[in-house]
Amino acid sequence: MSNFIIPNLQKEKIESYLKEGKRLDGRKAEEYRELFVEDGVSENSASAVRVRFGKTEVLAGVHLALAVPYPDSPDSGTFMTSAELHPMASQQFDIGRPGINSVELARVIDRGIRESGFIDMKKLCIKEGEKVYQVFVDIVAINDDGNLLDVAGLAALIALGRARMPIYNEEEDKIEGYSETEKIPLENDVLSFSMTFHKVGNVIVADVGHEEEAISKFRLTVAMGDNGGVPRITAMQKGKAGTISSDDMETILKLAESKWAEMFPKVKEYVFK
């Protein structure tokens, strides 16, 4: 009753094509779909962008609000990521409470941004122990044609990269719109982005379409940042029930390094535009 039942013959065909280094849409195993980025989805927030890989589309927006800091870090802003894999985007997503897929997606992206220190939280403190900015990243899936993880992850980074600083009215203690010129404080040097690789048949595949995603044995998301021109791993998440052999790991890491070298300049350009 869903489009996600993949017939055996389709699975066999996808796998046999991959043995010859081909995919049904004509791409090579490690090739990403065309990336599309659009700004200005909502001018009521600090930023809001639309990001597409092929037909997979995600909106991401950033909001800043006033908050009380956590007692253990009284001089730091706070941060939260939420994701809605809305039933609008796929027949697979349910109506109602966010499912485990939304929660995992939001948590993986949240950790990646938080742990890398990409947002300079100290600069988001207004008054120590009393008032800080809380940064919200909200992700809404519009159309799922596979690899929402990478599309959403990139959308979150681009939205943060373009997020404007709020204008704080101290007297009335409220935010009055966003600055035209000032962006939120980011540690540009620690930017890292994630790439998800799936094992489909016997081949490691990048940027899966939804059929490949449905039949893959496992996925491994690798986030990498720049360490003096050399990629450095900043976060990982393995998904699905399959296990990773040493050879697979070797292949994925090599692929991740070469894809990172190819894509990082482009990602940087989009994020810090």
Partner 1 sequence: MVKKGRQIVVPGEVVATGNEFLPGDGAYRDGQDVVAGRYGILDIQEKQVRVVPISGAYYPRRGNTIIGTIVDITFNGWLIDFGGAQNAFLPVAEVPRYINRNELREFLDFGETVVVKVWDVKARGIDVSMKMRGFGKIEGGMIIPVNSNKVPRIIGKEGSMIKLIQGATGCEITVGQNGKVWISGKDGDSEIATKKIIEFIAENIVISGLTEKVEKMIKEMGFKTSGIEIIAENTDEGSEE
Partner 2 sequence: MGEGIYTKREDGRAFTDVRSMKANVGIVPSADGSASFETGKTKAIAVVRGPRTLHPQHMQNAQTGILRVSYGMMPFSVEDRIRPGPNRRSEEISKVTEWALSSVVDLSGFPNTVVDVFVQIPQADAGTRVAGINAAALALAHAGIPMKEMVSAIGVGKIDKTLVVDLDKFEDSVFHDGEGSTDIPVVVTSRTKEIALLQLDGKISVDEFKQTIEMAKKACDDVLKVQIDALKNMSEVKDE
Q: Can you give the binding site for partner 2, defined by CB under 8 A?
A: 1, 3, 41-45, 48, 55, 57, 59, 61-63, 65, 82, 84, 86-91, 95, 97-98, 136, 138, 140, 142-145, 175, 177
Minimum CB distance to partner 2, residue 149 (Å): 17
Minimum CB distance to partner 2, residue 95 (Å): 7
Residue 142 tokens read as: 């519009």
Nearest CA to 3 out of 67, 127, 126, 90 is that of: 90
Minimum CB distance to partner 1, residue 219 (Å): 21
Residue 55 touches which of partner 2, partner 1, none (CB < 5 to 8 A by kind)?
partner 2
Nearer to partner 1, 90 or 221 (CB): 90
Nearer to partner 2, 146 or 201 (CB): 146
Residue 62 touches which of partner 1, partner 2, none (CB < 5 to 8 A by kind)?
partner 2
Cα 118 to Cα 113: distance, rounded to the nearest angstrom: 6
Nearer to partner 2, 178 or 193 (CB): 178
Residue 116 touches which of partner 1, partner 2, none (CB < 5 to 8 A by kind)?
none
CB 200 within 8 A of CB 216: yes
Cα 19 to Cα 38: distance, rounded to the nearest angstrom: 36
Burial class (CB in 10 A: 0-12, 13-18, 19+), 213: buried
**Local structure of 30: helix, strand or coil:** coil
Minimum CB distance to partner 1, residue 142 (Å): 18
Q: What strands lie across the sheet with 192-200, from one edge to the other?
A: 203-206, 192-200, 219-227, 230-239
Q: How far is CA 124 from the centre of its chain?
A: 22
Nearest CA to 85 out of 67, 68, 97 is that of: 97
Residue 168 touches which of partner 1, partner 2, none (CB < 5 to 8 A by kind)?
none
Nearer to partner 1, 20 or 72 (CB): 20
Q: Can you give the binding site for partner 1, defined by CB under 8 A?
A: 1-3, 5-13, 17, 20, 22, 24, 26
